[in-house]
Amino acid sequence: MPLPFSLDAFLDVFGAYNSALWPAVLALWLVTAGAVVPWMRLGRPSGRVLLALLAVHWIWSGVAYHWLFFSRINPAALVFGALFVFQGLVFTALAVIARARFDIARDVRGAIGGALVVYALAYPLIGLAAGLRYPRLPLFAVPCPTTLLTAGLLINASDVPRLAKIVPMLWAAVGGTAAVALAIHADWALVVAALVLAVDVIAPQALGVRRAG
């Protein structure tokens, strides 16, 4: 099924988004790195902190990216934005009730999750290395790196309802398909994220047993 916009139009959206909102993009990258790097090194920050961080990412991507910018070239962005805001509210609710713990371990889960988180943080550089030029490229605080970050954290989380993983899994599949169609190389990792989340939802034992709290 052909996309309702061209690659140039897609990159123009990022150009407008980055030019208008780059301070927020940089701030969210710094806050994210400050939260997840200690998690990767030490293993156990507050689950509430990481859930709140994911809530900010999803609500921001829904409102600031989908509704304010992407909807200019794709009417479906209004629906996408609503799904992102909904997912952000799910993470907000889980953070309020202090649901979930995030325990990274030296196993398959830890390796895949850590790789996805590092990839999400390196995402702006990957786009530049793939030949895109600022400001017409996805940097951070947009749906695809948000989904990669989320997948990396969720597969190492315990006590998170499976339903909370459905929207990230679906967006990883949608974004991965679009990445192939538009040759956005940095987004090809979304295919991996979609598969990993699907396995974690359908047959979590295939990724190994989660560590007990």
Buried b (16+ CB within 10 A) or exposed e, 3-12: eebeeeebbb
Handedness of CA 79, 80, 83, 85 (dihedral sign): negative
CA nearest neighbour of 211 among 163, 153, 157 = 157
pTM of the entire predicted model: 0.95
- pLDDT means per 10 residues, the chain with 213 residues, are 88 98 98 91 77 97 98 96 98 89 84 95 96 96 97 92 95 89 92 95 80 46
Is the Cα dihedral 82, 196, 187, 35 positive or negative?
positive
Nearest to 145 by CA among 184, 106, 180: 184
Distance separating alpha carbons of residues 115 and 123, to the nearest angstrom: 12
Nearest by Cα to 165 from 123, 138, 135, 193: 193
> Is residue 160 helix, strand or coil?
coil
